[in-house]
Structure 1
Amino acid sequence: MALADPLTPAQLPARFSVLIPVYAADTAERIRRAVESNSVEQTRPPAEVLLVQDGPVPASVTAELERLAKESPIPVRVLRIPENGGLAQALTVALPRCAYDVVARADADDVSYPRRFERQLPLIEDGADLVGASMHEIGDDETRPVALRTAPVGAARIAAVSRYRNPISHPTVVLRRSAALVVGGYEEVPMAEDYWLWTRMLHAGADVRNVAEPLVGYRVSAGSYERRGGYRVLRAELTLQHRLRTLGHVGFLQWAVNVMVRGGYRFVPLRVRETAYRLMVGHRH
């Protein structure tokens, strides 16, 4: 059962916002590309794009944000947060500021494919609270995907996968803000604020779906898999698993398996870690 009612005919087609956080490591060129791919290039474009500047950014990025706000054919607003507080805080501040209840998430260095919203919005209008999708991994050349992350499809499969890994790719999400806020919205869980939100939504009975088709090009840098290892990431993993157990989303046995497998994964050699992650999330080259 959905946490929100299906939209009425008078509300169709749903007007929606695109929410894109920006921080110091993002570049003006990538931000411009992200905004274009999520707005003017969409076969079903949003009514607005909200860019959230999380702390100080280079002058080139400031100039690009100002240019987009002035020149974009689709309205672009810029919300500035003076100090960098991380993704969870930025989204917590920004989500209520979106003009519409239906909000699509995007990252400032990724690319949404033209039919993304055309494919996802009808599911929201049908009553879904949260809709994700498969996505490609891309490098500098967005026209040449290097791998495919396959999303689990169907309520039973999504629920099962959620007990041992994140079933929804954050950069592909379209959600109902009201359904997210009713369970508390984003909360500070290091490196897992999205997984923790989806889990709470599932636990509350949300209608969570995935589109099998890849709808986003997710940029993977040379250090992406290196950052998935080490003691800092292990501490974050243990925090997440404790919350999943406390919520009742996983039992003792699943918790123990997750701690051993996902915890141990943080200390295997980089090449093994990359291969293991690709296998876990259904990668295909």
Structure 2
Amino acid sequence: MSGPAGEPFSLLLPVYRRDSPAFLRRAFRSATHLQTRPPAEVVLVRDGPVPDALARALDELTATSSVPVVRVDLPANRGLAVALEEGLARCSHELVARMDADDVSLPHRFAVQLPLLDGGVDTCDVVGSALEEFSGGPAEDAVGEVDDDEGAAGAGETTLAVRTPPAGHDAIAVRARFHSPFNHPTVVYRRSAVARAGGYRDLPLLEDYWLFTRMIATGAKAANVQQPLVRYRVGAGAYARRGGLRLLRSELVLQRHLVAEGFTTPAQFVRNVLVRGGYRAVPQGLRRLAYRAVFTRRPPSSS
């Protein structure tokens, strides 16, 4: 480590036209001045034109942030892979944390994750964590004014499930042959490891998973913290987005890439097409039940 505070890092946060200004403000605040170990900079990528209210929120956050903000304003919507690549190119630091514009980082997130990357013989190249799925809360136009308890559940919010990925590198490598081994909004990684893997490549809705497989294949050492460090907002369309024709097409493209790259075997390719492809094609209600049964657990009782 480079000192008591550890190595400085960048926060990479992409935004596009469908993001909520209020949710963005809360996400930004939770990952910056509410953190016990805040980033040294925020790289805020605007992926194409956005509505006036969202543009005002971006300008407000840039002007008032307690952490320096680097703006990357793309003139046209290019998709998540391009937005992240453009943002990574503007990051000043080797260590980069990912953040989505509608999730909430718990205040100790980076204090827990960064020590696993910034020094020592067992240092990692990519670290994720468990997360809590949640829904509800105040009306959208009021969220930006809510003084939430540093990332904890807000008034009216319900924690639906806890999603805990495999912990160690070997288990992560095994999981990656069938399913993404990280909760993508929770990851912190080394830019050099991302570059060595070829960076983000365009594959709608599966960009992160494809990157993770290539990072593992090119020697990145991986780990997951087993405690939830991010609250992941599950909206009305969350499970709809995990299926449908567009995602089925991306799934088939991904599986062809993985077997061609030697990451999966022909037998694993067939299994994945049948199981993962079938999951994309089933009705939304059945998809929700299957996902919750396999990848999540119920949150602990508050009583």
Partner of residue 266, structure 1: 280
Amino acid at match of 1:62: A
Partner of residue 24, structure 2: 31
Whether 1:42 aligns to 2:35 is: yes
Whether 1:88 aligns to 2:81 is: yes
Whole-angstrom distance in 1 between the partners of 2:88 and 2:166: 26
Whether 1:156 aligns to 2:161 is: no
Do the aligned residues in 1 keep the contact of 2:131 with 2:229 (CA within 8 Å)? yes
Do the aligned residues in 2 keep the contact of 1:65 with 1:78 (CA within 8 Å)? no
Question: May I ask how many residue pairs the two structures share in their alignment?
Answer: 278
Whole-angstrom distance in 2 between the partners of 1:242 and 1:111: 34
Do the aligned residues in 1 keep the contact of 2:161 with 2:296 (CA within 8 Å)? no
1:15 aligned to which of 8, 25, 28: 8
Whole-angstrom distance in 1 between the partners of 2:136 and 2:72: 28
Instruction: Give % identity.
Output: 48
- For normalisation by structure 1, the TM-score amounts to 0.94
Deviation at 1:239, TM superposition (A): 0.3
Deviation at 1:99, TM superposition (A): 1.5
Query: Deviations 1:19-77 (Å, cap 9, x if unpaired)?
Result: 11001011211111111000000011111111100011111111111111111111122
Partner of residue 65, structure 1: 58
Alignment of 1:125-140 (within 5 A): 125-126=118-119, 127-140=123-136
Deviation at 1:282, TM superposition (A): 3.2
Query: Secondary structure of 2:281's partner?
Result: coil
The answer to which of 61-70 and 169-178 deviates more is 61-70
Whether 1:104 aligns to 2:97 is: yes
Partner of residue 203, structure 1: 217
Alignment of 1:267-282 (within 5 A): 267-282=281-296
Query: Deviations 1:117-176 (Å, cap 9, x if unpaired)?
Result: 000000001421100000011113344311111111111111111010000111001011
Do the aligned residues in 2 keep the contact of 1:48 with 1:74 (CA within 8 Å)? yes
Whole-angstrom distance in 2 between the partners of 1:12 and 1:223: 39
Cα RMSD of the aligned pairs, angstroms, is 1.4
Query: Secondary structure of 2:227's partner?
Result: strand
- For normalisation by structure 2, the TM-score amounts to 0.88
Partner of residue 141, structure 2: none
Deviation at 1:266, TM superposition (A): 1.7
Whole-angstrom distance in 2 between the partners of 1:103 and 1:111: 17
Structure 2: which 5+ runs fail to align? Answer: 138-152
